Amino acid sequence: MGGRLREALRISDGRVDADQLVARLEAVHRFLGLVDGYLPDTPLSPARTLVERAGTRLSLSRDHTVVALAGATGSGKSSLFNAMARMDLSPVGVRRPTTGVTHACVWGPLDGGTRLLDWLGVLPKHRFVRESLLDGDDESTLHGLILLDLPDFDSVQHSHRLEVDRLLGLVDLVVWVVDPEKYADRVVHAAYLREFQRHRDVTLVVLNQADRLPPAEVPRVLADLRRLLDADGLDGVPLLATTIVDPSGPEVLRAELERTVVERQAALRRLTGDLDAVVDALDGMVGAPRSALPADDPAVAKLDRALSAVAGVPTVLSAVEQAYRHRAASRTGWPLVRFWRRLRPDPLRRLHLPGPQPVADDPERALAAATSVPEPGAADKSALALALRTVAERAGEGLPSAWPAAVSAA
């Protein structure tokens, strides 16, 4: 069953089709309904959260791509945010965290992304629009981009980290901004980057402030950072070097964001990665594919016999045999014997079962006729309970812990 679940919810690599993604989400929703009451709620919470969050995200603007700049204190992400917007929108600090709340810059009309920003929880006073009659053409390549400057995840303020963790679960693409001094910091790799293995398609790493390194050292630092990213399971993730000292320094990042905005795939790829993680977790609760017990299995044969006994099949079978002999003798025997036979009750009529005349056209009569079959005895009931328990145990062998009890109850 688990393998079939994985196959049913599998999606091909490459470009993500929105209709296929919606179909996969609907399949997970149906699965949650089927297992309700059988599996514990706690392991199913991520799947329920994803179905709700994905439905909300897809119902909001699909014309916008939400990109978050995430990094530690002093990495220069706020400076990079301002450089991308070509305006001073987010306060800049080096020694202490100055971005206490999330700032957003929207390229294009704000109206289309208002509901999306409300869902993200960005306060209206921290929303900025990057479009005007003077430079609209210059910024048109980024129309549809919502760029977020997140608080520092290593801030001394615990609320800042909570805000970062919340938004990292909602945005479409994450740009991790590191600096030459702390690019190998254990926190960013262990607590964050390694958690994005399934989201390589929507992850970007930027070595910012590359101007602080001698030109000959930049390739060496990038190579070491690539080694660390590969160890984190992020092989193939784009790695860029940027600086805001040189006006052309942020352009390489801008080009990547322009490509992302044009593709309109970031949101779908993010949800696909989340869905893959959820399906893998569900697989562990479903188990490997199982075939049904064959009809010739001893446990099934024993159950058939027990059901027959409880239903009174042996009694009816014996009555049919006796009725056949009785009716044959009453029609073909010696006249005296036939007369004597007619005085004896028909074995089938004694059980109020159909006699010589069919009663299939009279459902009420057929239902009433079946009520005189003797009730099953205690021995027959015990044999049936034992046979059912045996079949349930056989059917539940090897299934995850929640299912054997559910099979027995069913």
pLDDT above 60: residue 367: no
Best mean pLDDT range from 282-291, 298-307, 311-320, 362-371: 298-307
Q: How confident is the model at residue 43 (pLDDT cuts 50, 70, 90)?
A: confident
d(CA 40, CA 402): 8
Give the span between the Cα atoms of 348 and 360, in whole angstroms: 16
User: Which band of pLDDT confidence, cut at 50, 70 and 90, is reported for residue 137?
Assistant: low
Does the domain made of 63-263 have the CATH classification 1.10.150.530? no
* Per-domain residue ranges of the chain: 1-62+268-289, 63-263, 298-409
Q: What angle (nearest 5°) sits at the alpha carbon of residue 231, between those of residues 84 and 159?
A: 50
* pLDDT tens figures, 255-302: 999 999 999 999 999 999 999 999 988 887 887 777 778 878 888 888
- For every residue of 37-63, DSSP letters joined together read TTB-HHHHHHHHHHHHHHHHHHHS-SS
**Over the stretch 58-84, which tens digit does the pLDDT of each residue have?**
999 888 999 999 999 889 999 999 999
Q: State the pLDDT confidence band at 222, using cuts at 50, 70 and 90.
A: very high
Over residues 172-190, the pLDDT tens digits come to 999 999 999 999 999 899 9
Q: What's the mean pLDDT in 313-336?
A: 74
Mean pLDDT for 322-347 is 69
CB 127 within 8 A of CB 117: yes
Share of the chain above pLDDT 70, in %: 82
Q: Provide the whole-model pTM.
A: 0.74
pLDDT at 1 over 50: no
